[in-house]
Homo-oligomer: A and B are copies of this chain.
């Protein structure tokens, strides 16, 4: 099939997999899709290791890097990690400790002084430099408008730059900024998201691009879990699909066995769009974690403070959940979209790509039938 994305980034099938797990990225690209590794809060050294591993396992297939930088404000403010962490009110540390204590989880695991998630205050440019030393075919910026230095670096290396948007107005900014690909993610998607649903956002973004006289491909994101939905989005005019949640239930995923089982058990009504993880609205699997913050009526801290507090805590909760701690299993949560209701089983990431291809082809055949 002559897909536009094939020429642009070299993949056989325009199914993009955003994942923090290098195994998923390599498996998806090997299967004909396009893996994009999330370098969130990686150090340049960690990213160098990740990309080298991918190079060794991707069999020459194309892949990309997402240099999502949630601490971007901190970077702009140019303050140190300790200065940021010092801004977390004691009240919030105490409430977090209480959640752990109540669940019988040791505080040791959860370094409430920032832990491993220290914001790297000179990250963006270094991560880009590391990325360009590898055969990446796409650079993505998942939060906010792509910075000029990223656009320039992409042009300089001949690598397309993609940016995520959750509203037509944001797409218009990205078009002005000069991005090469727009990932339009509906509010039903996992992670940071807006309110506009995928089925409305895609045509809105396509129209905004046309009205700007631009020629920028759009990848549809938000709730897409199979090839039927991908075919639907492409029938609307998208050039491919960008998925995150579907990979979290794969056997290669970085998620815990406990969370993958929760995904299989969840319905599409079991997610919540909450600020109580990163400080910005992001869709997650609803759990006791959200109920406790809501019951206590404690508003979320701004990003990155809320994240610096919650991430190490939730990692300790994940660890305890794996050790059979029931309370921890009820608290366990992660970023996931409404599509979680469509997860039936754990599959290999390569198998997911294969299933997408088959469902996609079947959808096309059904449509052909309508034209007979």
A residues apposed to B, CB below 8 Å: 1-3, 167-169, 186-188, 194-201, 203-204, 206-207, 222-226, 228-229, 231-237, 267-269, 337-339, 341-342, 363-364, 366-372
Contact = CB atoms under 8 A, between A and B. Distances in A.
A346 to B, nearest CB: 18
A198 B195 contact: no
Interface of A is mostly: helix
Contact of A370 (B169, B234, B268): B234
Contacts of A1: 370-371
Given A188-B200, A269-B195, A364 B363 contact: no
Contacts of A201: 268
Contacts of A169: 267
Contacts of A231: 235-236
Nearest to A366: B237
Contacts of A3: 370
A263 B278 CA distance: 34
Contact of A237 (B168, B187, B228, B234): B228
A199 B226 contact: no
Q: Which 10 A-B pairs have the closest CB atoms?
A: A232-B236, A188-B197, A235-B235, A232-B232, A200-B223, A232-B235, A197-B197, A231-B235, A196-B268, A200-B338
Given A195-B269, A268-B200, A236 B363 contact: yes
Contact of A341 (B200, B223, B229, B363): B200
B187 A199 contact: no
A203 to B, nearest CB: 6
Contacts of A372: 2
A221 to B, nearest CB: 10
Contact of A232 (B168, B199, B207): B199
